[in-house]
Amino acid sequence: MVTQEEKKLHEEIKEAFPYADDVDWNEVYQRIIYRYSTPHGLQHIKEELYKLEDEGEIIVHHIKPNNNPVEVQTLNGMPKKIPTTRLWNHKSCGQCGHIPGYPTSVFWIMNKLEIDYLDEPHQTSCTGWNYHASGASNPVALAGVYVRNMWRAYETGYFPLIHCGTSFGHYKEVRNMIILHKEIRDKLRPIMRKLDMDIVVPEEVVHYSEWLYVMSKKAAQHKKYDLSNIRAAVHTPCHVYKLVPEDTVYDPAVFEGRRPAAPTGTVMNFGAKIVDYSTWWDCCGFGFRHILTEREFSRSFALFKKVIPAVEEGHADVFVTSDTGCVTTLDKSQWAGKAHGFNYNLPVLADAQFAAIMMGADPYKIGQIHWHATDVEGFLRKVGVPVDEYKEQFLQYLADLREGKAQPEYLYKPHRKIDFYLALPDRVKWYKGEQAVQK
């Protein structure tokens, strides 16, 4: 029973953080999202891209038939090609450092679906954190990092798939800048030539969640557990769809095409029920600069503006999102609320972790849920995952590794030590075999 004191506290919280139930969020969304669109429409960007290619100003990394592309629709109705195989994975700094089950889930799904991919050791950070958190970089440096990574993908013959939402949004902005500003290209080209590289721009900038959404119906055919009674709230990362928003995938089947297709569509295709909540548009609280300078604000925002509405309005069983900072903030902030009596404990997963575990991936070796702060185990038990059995096997595996009784398990052929020092296209031939390269 709720006491008068608790009721008063909840009223004060609602007054301080209004849920704005009377606001038409769809109308607000449509108004704001177009405001943030580039003044140069996506069609103009694409036209200029191919024009610069014809003039020899840049090299365009084209999506080819052997990438098995699927055409989808973006915000303004423009078609976007999503390559589904022969993928060069541009990993996320934060995913690898804070949520290692995130990239391993992506690779596990690719293995399960027999996707040809590279986990490239010669990728660098996009430096988006430096730009968005501190504003300390400059346009040419940002463009140089982008082109260097895109050149590396180009020379391997595999098309780049961006894991991090910030890298994705940031790279869309940098692509537009390179295409629209000759002065940037003129300063960038001599720098790249010193590295024996040139200005390479991919035909599309593709986020892994878009790839997963396109593949989700096929992936769901491998589903091991019934999700029909699961209520899932979704947070779409700001940097995925609010940076160059017209280059984000939409689908009429997802909220009538008024919200991004991924990751909502992926969760839908796995059979869970999507629940709505009034603050779906809001940031998760991470905000880059906030998390560095106002961490308690980030934690409070994540709890009161995201987690509580998802639970109290949507009665969610799980929170699914698709970016590094969002998973980290929504998952790792809830303990702060618990310390003050707000014990909502809403499990948080990336869409890749959600999909992989539902397809039968080991929740510890692959999903690595032991890195999470919320009760993911409880959610998995609810859908029938034999958590205790997996945990016992995992602990035994760790003990065997420590005692030298077992060898580490790999998702792909391990890199040789020399591969971390040499960035040679011929390495791909060894890594994938001549036959794979000649496809």
pLDDT tens, residue by residue, 150-162: 999 998 899 999 9
Question: Which residues 6+ apart lie within 8 Å of 6 measured at CB?
Answer: none
Of 109-118, 267-276, 324-333, least confident by mean pLDDT is 324-333
The mean-pLDDT minimum among 45-49, 84-88, 198-202, 413-417 falls in 413-417
Helices (H) and strands (E) counted in the chain, each on its own, are 22, 12
The tokens describing 208, both together, are 């892994």
CA 437 centroid distance within chain: 27
Contact 262, 219 (CB under 8 A): no
Strand locations in 43-116 (E): 59-61, 70-74, 79-82, 87-90
Q: What is the DSSP string of 325-364?
A: HHHHHHHHTHHHHHHTT------EEEHHHHHHHHTT--TT
Beta strands 348-350 and 87-90 are: unpaired
pLDDT at res. 436? 43
Q: What is the pLDDT of residue 71?
A: 97
Q: What is the mean pLDDT of the chain?
A: 87
Burial of 169 (0-12, 13-18, 19+ CB in 10 A): buried
Residue 171, both tokens:
């790279």
Catalogue the E-assigned strands of 142-247: 159-162, 200-202, 231-235
Q: What is the pLDDT of residues 198-212, one digit of tens each?
A: 999 999 999 999 999
Instruction: Report the 10 Å Cβ neighbour count for 55.
Output: 8
What is the set of domains in the chain, with CATH numbers?
25-202 (1.20.1050), 223-394 (3.40.50.11810)
Find tokens 């953080």 and name the residue.
17
Instruction: Provide the token pair at 33.
Output: 């999202």
Answer whether 223's CB lies under 8 Å from 272's CB. Answer: no
Residues in the chain, total: 439
Contact 339, 180 (CB under 8 A): no
Q: With bands split at pLDDT 50, 70 and 90, how would you rate the model's confidence at 429? A: low
What average pLDDT does the segment 312-337 reach?
92
User: For 339-359, what is the mean pLDDT?
Assistant: 94
∠ CA(66), CA(69), CA(72), 5° rounding? 175
Across 126-140, 170-184, 369-383, 387-401, least confident range: 126-140
Residue 26 has pLDDT above 80, yes or no: no
From residue 109, give the alpha-carbon distance in Å to each of 214, 314, 365: 13, 29, 14
pLDDT at 123 over 90: no
Query: What number of other Cβ atoms are within 10 A of residue 231's Cβ?
Result: 16
Instruction: Find the mean pLDDT for residues 231-256.
Output: 92
